[in-house]
């Protein structure tokens, strides 16, 4: 009985030697991020936590537009916002919520599918629009009001209409299977894994990460070629803005992922340390291994106001 009492006393009274067990010492970093960044950011966060055991990283995915609205409208606490489109941070968060923006990775739009997809043995880069228009085929895309992958898919339709000389293609593609539109690109993966859809317009990195087959589209329409920005900018659409009922115009562009630290980040110093690791060659290599080609070196705008420790990884361009 005396031994049991001693053991209980040790459990409830003796302090732990591990700083990581003390709430006062633990740092909690909150990151709102695009769904398509889920896999690489999880791996980066796990590696960072191994090296910094007193830091806990909370990753919350959503469409990039919705990530920004969590900060603007819901006032949710957050340290870092990582977007699949640099435009979202530039347009919605700067200058009221953030002061700078770093472009760090690229991607491209593909059509993903599996062996179970109808006509998977027939679909090609030059006939996908005909396959997807068949009545027994179901395809999905992201919501353009929530997710850049959604409005980028519309840009792909518009560019394809001109590239293939198919008048009316955009209307046909946007009016079919509208019940299968989802808030963010990774939500589409669940539909495919459950065999609810045959095809989806998706980022190449997400298709690779989930072991899916995919059709690579011509560079003139897949938003991946820096030399074709003039072509991409010929198309545009309107999406929900930063206030209910307000629309904003989005123009086609090269796919650029970007990231920022909020001006009022609760853990700003820790956020800078995490960003240093993410932008390091080791961090960017994690993106590369998961199908997302890093921008080398990453690009900041405006460069002058960046935290000094981040400048070593970047090159500057003119101010926003």
- Reading the chain (320 residues) residue by residue, the pLDDT tens digits are 444 444 333 333 333 333 444 555 789 999 999 999 999 999 999 999 999 999 999 999 999 999 999 999 999 999 999 999 999 999 999 999 999 999 999 999 999 999 999 999 999 999 999 999 999 999 999 999 999 999 999 999 999 999 999 999 999 999 999 999 999 888 999 999 999 999 999 999 999 999 999 999 999 999 999 999 999 999 999 998 877 788 999 999 999 999 999 999 999 999 999 999 999 999 999 999 999 999 989 999 899 999 999 999 987 554 43
CA-nearest of 121, 92, 33, 113 to 250 is 92
Tell me the β-bridge partners of 257.
Answer: 105
Rounded-to-integer distance, Cα 237 and Cα 269, Å: 38
Domain positions in the chain are 26-106+256-316, 109-251
Enter the tokens of residue 62: 């959503």
Radius of gyration of the chain (CA): 22
**128 in helix, strand or coil?**
helix
What class has domain 26-106+256-316? alpha beta
**224 in helix, strand or coil?**
coil
N-terminal to C-terminal alpha carbon distance within the chain? 72
CA torsion 170-176-180-186 (nearest 10°) is: -30
Tell me the β-bridge partners of 81.
Answer: 32, 260
Q: Residue 87 in contact with residue 102, Cβ under 8 Å?
A: no
Instruction: Quickly name the fold that domain 109-251 has.
Output: D-Maltodextrin-Binding Protein; domain 2 (3.40.190)
26-106+256-316 and 109-251: identical CATH topology: yes
Tell me the β-bridge partners of 103.
Answer: 258, 299
Output the pTM of the full model. 0.89
């Amino acid at each position: 009985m005396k031994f049991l009492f001693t053991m209980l006393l040790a459990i409830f009274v003796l302090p732990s030697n591990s700083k990581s067990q003390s709430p006062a010492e633990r740092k909690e970093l909150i990151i709102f991020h695009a769904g398509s960044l889920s896999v690489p950011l999880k791996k980066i966060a796990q590696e960072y936590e191994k090296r910094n055991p007193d830091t806990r990283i909370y990753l919350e995915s959503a469409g990039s537009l919705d990530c920004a609205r969590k900060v603007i409208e819901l006032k949710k606490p957050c340290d870092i916002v990582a977007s699949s489109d640099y435009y979202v941070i530039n347009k919605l968060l700067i200058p009221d919520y953030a002061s700078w923006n770093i472009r760090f990775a690229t991607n491209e739009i593909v059509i993903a599918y599996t062996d179970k997809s109808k006509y998977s043995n027939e679909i090609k880069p030059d006939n996908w629009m005909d396959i997807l228009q068949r009545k027994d085929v179901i395809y999905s895309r992201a919501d353009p009001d929530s997710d850049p992958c959604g409005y980028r898919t519309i840009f792909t339709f518009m560019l394809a209409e001109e590239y293939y000389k198919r008048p009316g293609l955009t209307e046909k593609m946007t009016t079919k299977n509208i019940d299968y539109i989802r808030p963010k690109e990774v939500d589409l993966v669940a539909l495919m894994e459950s065999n609810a859809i045959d095809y989806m317009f998706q980022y190449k990195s997400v298709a690779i990460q989930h072991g899916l087959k995919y059709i690579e589209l011509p560079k003139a329409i897949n938003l991946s070629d820096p030399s074709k920005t003039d072509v991409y900018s010929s198309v545009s659409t309107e999406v929900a803005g930063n206030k209910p009922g307000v629309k904003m115009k989005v123009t086609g562009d090269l796919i650029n992922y970007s990231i920022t630290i909020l001006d009022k980040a609760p853990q700003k110093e820790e956020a800078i340390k995490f960003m240093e690791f993410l932008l390091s060659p080791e961090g960017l290599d994690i993106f590369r291994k998961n199908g997302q080609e890093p921008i080398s070196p990453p690009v900041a705008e405006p460069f002058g106001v960046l935290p000094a420790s981040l400048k070593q990884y970047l090159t500057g361009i003119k101010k926003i």
